[in-house]
């Protein structure tokens, strides 16, 4: 046993007296799951089908609905019970044709992609002088005089996704407040080979809605160099983007019913929708399929957890979060029977472990809607945290069980706000944001061994949480 656990147990005698050592109790079943996951050479087969045969899956598209029907059939084939596709209305945003052209000092097409949920430009486009800033403070310092009627370029220093994404999400409304007529934003990435990254924006209510697009980091840097040198920079932005109201869609869910406490549920999953470019392979094809493969593996090995394990593919995470909210509404009072929620939405590179507790840093939409119960998520108790660490220790063999604080994700946010302990898969995240929301988020980026390790860690964590005697929320 690990020294920390020994010391901790010695200090909490009541807990120690009542609790078998999880790491001993579940060593054999965990090893069985890890061995089976790591030797499954078909581990990526379903994800490959999703990527190559169905493709990307933006909310409101026929390919998303094909993916949903296919996923439900696959869950049935894997022997999951209560496979359902509960209805969810999702926003239907359409990109249309789009381009950005540098007009002066030289004429050159810019590498761009419109931001999700952006409005379009008039048919003749928007032509304007570019004002380049790094931060919101710089923009505000310029004031309305220097911003009104211009196209604002945000070229922030890359401080990781959580530290930079606010320019993509809020940049348009903040620039509109000063009279800007369009916004360009440096792609949210640290690495680029002229690859523009999309992602959603959010307009502030009551503020004029102006079009916004991402530029490749290379083109954003070039525009900034020109502007800094005092050269007037003129860009023409043309976008057909528009909303087509709401479209009917679905979450997808299937279960292994618990043997003793079937009403109590460990839920795990990711989001089935993606952006309209690439294959949505990492974001979040890898998350839904790793959680599904984990549950399918528990089923296949004939392990029978005391509680129900439910895999859910939430819809519309990328541009609305309707699936996560609909799931919370659907379960109603049974939210109190949710023992834990696990989300995987950071790609399937080598897993490091799980974040456990409050929301993932910087993922603003992790707080989906104002909730009457309040948005305060209490941190896990020391006993619950130690327990999750003990389960993590079962993953030492694949070096994938490190528990850190702050977890969850946007789809399980509504559950966590209602008091469900939330965990988020953490990986080394070496390349995830190189591909994120781009045309290069494709199946070839997946590495079998790394994907298998994610399946292994999800299988062990969900199985033990569903089978162990106590609930995390009861451990003080």
| H-helix or E-strand spanning residue 215 | strand 212-215
The nearest distance, CB 93 to Zn ion, in angstroms, is: 16
Which of these segments, 40-48, 193-201, 242-250, 279-287, binds Zn ion (CB under 5 A)? 279-287
Asked whether 465 and 302 are in contact (CB, 8 A), the reply is no
The nearest distance, CB 348 to Zn ion, in angstroms, is: 12
Enumerate residues 193-222 that contact Zn ion by CB under 5 A: none
DSSP strand pairing (126-133 vs 112-114): unpaired
The nearest distance, CB 265 to Zn ion, in angstroms, is: 23
Instruction: Give the strands of the sheet with 307-314, arranged side by side.
Output: 81-84, 252-256, 307-314, 261-271, 338-343, 422-427, 351-359, 402-407
Which of these segments, 141-149, 212-220, 296-304, 344-352, binds Zn ion (CB under 5 A)? 344-352
Which of these segments, 83-91, 115-123, 135-143, 278-286, binds Zn ion (CB under 5 A)? 278-286
The nearest distance, CB 79 to Zn ion, in angstroms, is: 27
Nearer to Zn ion, 167 or 432 (CB): 432
The nearest distance, CB 436 to Zn ion, in angstroms, is: 8
The binder of Zn ion chosen from 273, 284, 293, 450 (CB under 5 A): 284
Give DSSP secondary structure letters for 180-209: -SEEEEE-S-S--SS-----B--PPTTS--
Return left, alpha or beta for 362; rule: phi > 0 is left, psi -120 to 50 is alpha, else beta.
left
Cα distance between residue 238 and residue 98, in whole Å: 5
Nearer to Zn ion, 40 or 283 (CB): 283
Which of these segments, 47-55, 275-283, 436-444, 468-476, binds Zn ion (CB under 5 A)? 275-283
Instruction: Give the strands of the sheet with 112-114, arranged side by side.
Output: 108-110, 98-104, 234-239, 126-133, 151-154, 182-186, 212-215, 112-114
Cα distance between residue 296 and residue 97, in whole Å: 41
| H-helix or E-strand spanning residue 38 | helix 27-38
# residues near Zn ion by CB under 5 A: 3
The binder of Zn ion chosen from 98, 219, 345, 467 (CB under 5 A): 345
DSSP strand pairing (151-154 vs 182-186): parallel
Asked whether 158 and 214 are in contact (CB, 8 A), the reply is no
Which of these segments, 59-67, 206-214, 254-262, 338-346, binds Zn ion (CB under 5 A)? 338-346
Q: 346 exposed, middle or buried (CB, 10 Å; 0-12, 13-18, 19+)? A: buried
Return left, alpha or beta for 199; rule: phi > 0 is left, psi -120 to 50 is alpha, else beta.
left
| H-helix or E-strand spanning residue 141 | helix 136-147
> How far from the centroid of its chain's Cα atoms is residue 288's Cα?
11
Position 74 contacts Zn ion (CB under 5 A): no
Which of these segments, 41-49, 61-69, 305-313, 343-351, binds Zn ion (CB under 5 A)? 343-351
Nearer to Zn ion, 284 or 434 (CB): 284
Count of CB atoms situated within 10 Å of the CB of 430? 10
- Phi first, then psi, for residue 36 (nearest 5°) are -65, -40
The nearest distance, CB 402 to Zn ion, in angstroms, is: 22
Return the active site residues.
317
The binder of Zn ion chosen from 98, 276, 283, 450 (CB under 5 A): 283
Beta bridge partners, 186, equal 215
The nearest distance, CB 242 to Zn ion, in angstroms, is: 23
3-state class (DSSP) for residue 138: helix
The nearest distance, CB 321 to Zn ion, in angstroms, is: 11
Site for Zn ion, rule CB under 5 A? 283-284, 345
């Amino acid at each position: 046993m690990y020294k920390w656990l020994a010391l901790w147990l010695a200090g909490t005698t009541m807990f120690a007296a009542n609790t078998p050592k999880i790491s001993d109790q579940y060593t054999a079943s965990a090893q069985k799951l890890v061995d089976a996951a790591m030797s499954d050479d078909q581990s990526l087969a379903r994800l490959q089908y999703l990527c190559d045969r169905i493709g990307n899956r933006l909310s409101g598209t026929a390919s998303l609905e094909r993916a949903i029907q296919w996923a439900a059939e696959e869950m049935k084939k894997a022997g999951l019970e209560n496979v359902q596709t509960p209805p969810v209305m999702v926003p239907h945003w359409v990109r249309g044709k789009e381009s950005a052209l540098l007009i002066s000092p030289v004429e050159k097409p810019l590498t761009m992609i419109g931001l999700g949920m952006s409005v379009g430009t008039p048919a003749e486009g928007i032509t304007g002088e570019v004002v380049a800033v790094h931060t919101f403070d710089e923009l505000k310092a310029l004031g309305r005089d220097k911003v009104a009627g211009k196209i604002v370029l945000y070229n922030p220093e890359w401080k990781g996704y959580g530290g930079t994404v606010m320019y993509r999400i809020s940049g348009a409304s903040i620039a509109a407040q000063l009279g800007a007529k369009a916004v360009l934003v440096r792609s949210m990435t640290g690495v680029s080979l002229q690859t523009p990254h999309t992602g959603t924006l959010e307009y502030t209510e009551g503020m004029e809605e102006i079009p916004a697009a991402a530029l490749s980091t290379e083109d954003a840097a070039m525009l900034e160099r020109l502007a800094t040198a005092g050269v007037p920079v003129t860009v023409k932005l043309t976008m057909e983007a528009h909303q087509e109201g709401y479209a009917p869609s679905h979450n997808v869910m299937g279960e292994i019913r618990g043997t003793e406490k079937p009403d109590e549920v460990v839920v795990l999953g990711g989001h089935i929708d993606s952006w309209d470019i690439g294959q949505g392979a990492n974001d979040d094809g890898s998350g839904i399929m790793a959680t599904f493969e984990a549950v399918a593996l528990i089923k296949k090995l004939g392990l029978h957890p005391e509680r129900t394990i439910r895999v859910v593919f939430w819809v519309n995470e990328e541009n609305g979060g309707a699936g996560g909210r609909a799931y919370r509404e659907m379960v109603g009072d049974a939210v109190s029977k949710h023992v834990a929620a696990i989300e995987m939405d950071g790609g399937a590179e080598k897993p490091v472990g799980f974040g456990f507790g409050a929301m993932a840093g910087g993922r603003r939409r992790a707080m989906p809607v104002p909730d009457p119960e309040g948005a305060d998520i209490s941190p896990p108790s020391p006993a619950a945290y130690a327990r999750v660490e003990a389960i993590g220790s079962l993953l030492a063999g694949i070096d994938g069980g490190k528990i850190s604080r702050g977890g969850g994700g946007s789809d399980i946010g509504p559950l966590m706000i209602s008091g469900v302990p939330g965990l988020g898969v953490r990986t080394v995240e070496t390349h995830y944001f190189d591909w994120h929301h781009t045309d290069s988020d494709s199946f070839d980026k997946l590495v079998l061994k790394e994907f298998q390790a994610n399946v292994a860690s999800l299988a062990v964590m969900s199985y033990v949480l569903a089978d162990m005697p106590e609930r995390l929320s009861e451990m003080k």
